[in-house]
């Protein structure tokens, strides 16, 4: 039976941080603030997979009060989500995600993001969908105060 999970994440854009999305460092005057590398895309996908398993969320597995996860690459979280699938004899069918960012333009980085996410999850790039859209200058995303990501994952479980 195919189970579906949803994930959403948002981080604040601040000066003095690297902008990392889908494991790609993207040149930009501001980066996402957070305990880890603040990769909102990988966090949303992690939660989507955990959600499809009926598991607790990313904050339960990786509390932002735990110094072990300070500054860590968020591929670690994706790898853990994929590892949670194994003892259930399941397999991730596909992942699809949308990044919502007013700036910068993300399209040139999408292919590299797909590769990083596929590698972390042990999937093929064709199983990973990533889109980027702006917020048409509305709200906190439109004012470039933050970047959000949403994701769904489908997991085939016996
Ligand atoms: Mg997050």
Reading the chain (158 residues) residue by residue, the pLDDT tens digits are: 999 999 999 999 999 999 999 999 999 999 999 999 999 999 999 999 999 999 999 999 988 888 888 889 999 999 999 999 999 999 999 999 999 999 999 999 999 999 999 999 999 999 999 999 999 999 999 999 999 999 999 999 99
Distance (angstroms) between ligand 1 centre and the Cα of 33 equals: 9
Distance (angstroms) between ligand 1 centre and the Cα of 61 equals: 12
Distance (angstroms) between ligand 1 centre and the Cα of 11 equals: 6
Distance (angstroms) between ligand 1 centre and the Cα of 39 equals: 7
Distance (angstroms) between ligand 1 centre and the Cα of 130 equals: 17
Q: Return the domain boundaries, the chain.
A: 2-156
Distance (angstroms) between ligand 1 centre and the Cα of 23 equals: 13
Alpha carbon distance 99, 16 (integer Å): 21
Contacts of 49 (CB under 8 A, 6+ apart): 5, 7, 78, 81, 82, 84, 85, 92, 95, 121, 153, 155
The CATH class of the 2-156 domain is alpha beta
Is the model's pTM score more than 0.95? Answer: yes
Residue whose entry in the numeric block shows the structure tokens 């932002």: 64
């Amino acid at each position: 039976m195919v189970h579906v999970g949803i994930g959403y994440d948002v981080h604040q854009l601040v000066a003095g941080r690297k902008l990392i999305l889908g494991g790609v460092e993207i040149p930009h005057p501001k980066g996402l603030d957070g305990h880890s590398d603040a990769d909102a895309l990988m966090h949303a996908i992690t939660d989507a997979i955990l959600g499809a398993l009926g598991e607790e969320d990313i904050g339960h597995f990786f509390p932002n009060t735990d110094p072990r996860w300070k500054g860590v690459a968020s591929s670690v979280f994706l790898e853990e989500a994929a590892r949670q699938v194994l003892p259930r004899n399941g397999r991730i069918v596909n992942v699809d995600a949308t990044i919502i960012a007013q700036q910068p333009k993300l399209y040139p980085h999408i292919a590299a993001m797909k590769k990083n996410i596929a590698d972390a999850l042990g999937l093929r790039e064709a199983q990973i969908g990533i889109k980027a859209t702006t917020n048409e200058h509305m709200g906190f995303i439109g004012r470039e105060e933050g970047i959000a990501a949403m994701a769904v994952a489908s997991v085939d479980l016996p």
